[in-house]
Amino acid sequence: MTDIIGYLKSNLTTSFIGKEVHYLAIASSTQDIAREMADRGAPEGTAVIAGMQRSGRGRLGRSWLSPEGGLATSIILRPAMSAVPLLPAISALAVFRAIKHLGIKAGIKWPNDILIGGRKVCGILIEHTMVNGIVGYSIIGIGININFDTVLYPEIAASATSLSVELGHELPVEHVALRLYTELEDLYLLSENPEVILDEWAANMITIGSRVKVQSGNRDIEGIAEAINRSGHLLLRRDDGTVQEIVAGDVSIVPDSGKK
């Protein structure tokens, strides 16, 4: 699996994402390793990959299962303030495009989960470090289930899938990483055209038009996910007709609600 570094060094044509790339067979969390590197001045685009994580972290304080066969990677970005709100869309789209390239139809669940047939194949955790009141750097943490059978892991068996389950065969993790870093760089370089990014993100968002439950803080809010606004926030039409803007939260599609 350390071959992944050799493969990326020989084949990656990006100008900064993944140009510096570190591989660990096993790590606590690639987020923490990337953060230490960023603190020591690692250049923008530096990527960390782990073969397995002992303490993979998810959004909203959850853990992230990272067995062998997955791609667990964290990428250091040093974004302009204007690009920071676009990072969920950019990272979700990069994964979406990389999976589409394999011939698999996936969808994005707001803000940046990637699902295939309603099952999660990828989760993204974005963490920012503030320096003098502005974002000094952001760590984009991406976990993609690639070559393992999710059914063997009871904690995710009902809700997750993997690329090998969907394709019926395994595939080289390094091919997925190469495509992911390439798409991520292409999209990140488009940050000055937020409309292009937000439109493609919204167009592939399975959440839109569905009845959803949003867990935001310690509240559950239900309604129809109507649209994404220009800030990337979810607009939820509640049953009393009011529209609520959701900035962050965990969305689940209410079963059998169909699309409006």
Total of residues contacting ligand BTN (CB under 6 A) = 21
The three-point CA angle 172-174-186 to 5° equals 130
Q: Which of 124, 142, 122, 112 is nearest to 206 (CA)?
A: 112
Site string for ligand BTN, 109-148 (x = CB under 6 A): ----x---------xxx---------------xxx-----
User: How many other C-beta atoms lie within 10 A of the C-beta of residue 20?
Assistant: 16
Q: Kindly report the backbone phi and psi dihedral angles of residue 50, in degrees, each rounded to the nearest multiple of 5, phi listed first.
A: -120, 140
Q: What is the CA radius of gyration of the chain?
A: 18
If one asks whether residue 88 binds ligand BTN (CB under 6 A), the answer comes out as: no
Least distance to ligand BTN, CB of residue 202, Å:
20
Closer to ligand BTN at the Cβ: 110 or 224? 110
Count of helix runs (H) and strand runs (E) in the chain: 6, 12
Question: Could you say which of 18, 56, 111, 194 contacts ligand BTN (CB under 6 A)?
Answer: 56
Question: Could you say which of 23, 64, 137, 201 contacts ligand BTN (CB under 6 A)?
Answer: 64
Query: DSSP class of residue 118?
Result: T
Closer to ligand BTN at the Cβ: 67 or 223? 67
If one asks whether residue 59 binds ligand BTN (CB under 6 A), the answer comes out as: yes
The one-letter code for the residue type at 174 is E
Secondary structure (3-state) at 84: helix
Binders of ligand BTN in range 11-50 (CB under 6 A): 29-31
Q: Is 186:196 a contact under the CB 8 Å cutoff?
A: no
* Spatial separation of the C-alpha atoms in residues 187 and 194, rounded to whole Å: 10
Residue nearest ligand BTN (C-beta atom)? 123
Q: Select from 10-18, 35-43, 52-60, 172-180 the region that touches ligand BTN (CB under 6 A).
A: 52-60
Closer to ligand BTN at the Cβ: 74 or 182? 74
Residues in touch with ligand BTN (CB under 6 A)? 29-31, 53, 56-59, 62, 64, 66, 72-74, 113, 123-125, 141-143
